[in-house]
């Protein structure tokens, strides 16, 4: 058997997440409409998010802080307290949203769990992400959940060392090239890309070589067990 551990990204791999961020940004643009056009709001908000990543990291709380900062910049400090409260309400709605699994996720995990050790490896806020796992209805399929500040070569190497897994026997499944694929391939692991409906530009890797060894792309999670069988037969 090729794989000792299969890792799964969480947001927009196991369940839908980007739809909540998209709705939040639409609501934010409506709120800030008196001060700027939607295109300018998008630019300033994206700059705030990217500039804040080193200090705030990923997740809903970091996103809301960036919304507030962007609102102050866009309104030239004229944003009112009650409007800040509306921004906070956007964040609370995101945090309380139901966890909706993507197609074929539960049955795929049920198929794999009797043979493989499964793990969630996700970026974001520890409380937010562990709460999503608990409320997802699939927590029992995973031997552990790793919530990290970023997903890079060093992060994956540390996780694999912690769990005593050779990178060559590790498979990562996720919806982004930057976080779920590129660093895993750099370690000699195998990565499966399952694109989401929409992906943040920050997670793109321009010029990524899709022909390199260890890289696979699927249309949906339901195709994963058959792919793993093919890899095992060729191993």
Domain end point (choices 75, 96, 117): 96
For 124-158, how does the pLDDT look when each residue is reduced to its tens digit (9 = 90+)?
Answer: 889 889 999 999 999 999 999 999 988 999 999 99
Res 210 pLDDT > 90: no
Same domain, 25 and 133: no
Is the pLDDT reported for residue 83 higher than 70? yes
Q: Write down which residue in 44, 68, 96 finishes a domain.
A: 96
Split at pLDDT 50, 70, 90, the class of 198 is low
The whole-number pLDDT of residue 57 equals 84
- Same domain (yes/no): 90, 198: no
Could you tell me whether strands 5-8 and 170-174 are parallel, antiparallel, or unpaired per DSSP bridges? parallel
CATH of the domain at 69: 1.10.150.240
Q: What is the DSSP code (8-state) at residue 116?
A: S
**Does 82 have pLDDT greater than 80?**
yes
- What integer pLDDT is reported at residue 72 of this predicted model? 97
Same domain, 82 and 166: no
Res 56 pLDDT > 70:
yes
Give me the CATH number covering residue 163: 3.40.50.1000
- What is the number of structural domains in the chain? 2
Q: Let me know whether 182 and 68 are in one domain.
A: no
Q: How many Cα atoms occupy the beta-carbon half-sphere of 109 within 13 Å? A: 24
Question: Could you tell me if 26 and 93 are in contact, meaning their C-beta atoms sit under 8 angstroms apart?
Answer: no
pTM metric for this prediction:
0.89
**Residue 109 burial (10 A CB sphere; 0-12, 13-18, 19+):** buried
Query: Are residues 79 and 38 located together in one domain of the fold?
Result: yes
Last residue of a domain, one of 45, 66, 96: 96
Q: Say yes or no: 178 and 204 in one domain.
A: yes
- Do 146 and 175 belong to one domain? yes
Neighbour count for residue 143 (Cβ, 10 Å): 12
Residues 128 and 168 in one domain: yes
First to last CA, the chain: 8
- Residue 172 near residue 3, CB atoms below 8 Å: no
∠ CA 23-30-199, nearest 5°, is 30
Name the residue range of residue 146's domain: 5-15+100-234
Statement to judge: residues 62 and 170 lie in one domain: no
């Amino acid at each position: 058997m090729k794989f000792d551990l299969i890792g799964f990204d969480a947001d927009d791999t196991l369940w839908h997440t980007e739809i909540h961020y998209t709705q939040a940004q639409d609501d934010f643009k409506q709120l800030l409409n008196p001060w700027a056009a939607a295109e300018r709001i998008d630019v300033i908000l994206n700059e705030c998010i990217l500039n804040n990543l080193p200090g705030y990291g990923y997740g809903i709380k970091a996103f809301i802080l960036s919304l507030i900062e962007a609102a102050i910049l866009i309104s030239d400090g004229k944003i009112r307290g009650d409007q800040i409260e509306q921004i906070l309400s956007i964040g609370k709605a995101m945090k309380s949203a139901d966890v909706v699994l993507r197609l074929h996720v539960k049955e795929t995990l049920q198929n794999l769990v009797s043979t493989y050790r499964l793990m969630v490896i996700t970026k974001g806020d520890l409380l937010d992400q562990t709460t999503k796992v608990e409320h997802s209805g699939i927590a029992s399929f995973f031997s552990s959940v790793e919530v990290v500040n970023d997903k890079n070569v060093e992060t994956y190497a540390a996780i694999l060392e912690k769990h005593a897994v050779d990178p060559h026997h590790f498979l990562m499944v996720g919806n982004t090239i930057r976080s779920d694929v590129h660093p895993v391939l750099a370690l000699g692991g195998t990565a499966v890309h399952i694109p989401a409906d929409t992906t943040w530009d920050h997670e793109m890797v321009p010029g990524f070589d899709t022909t390199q060894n260890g890289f696979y792309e699927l249309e949906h999670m339901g195709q994963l067990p058959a792919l793993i069988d093919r890899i095992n037969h060729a191993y």
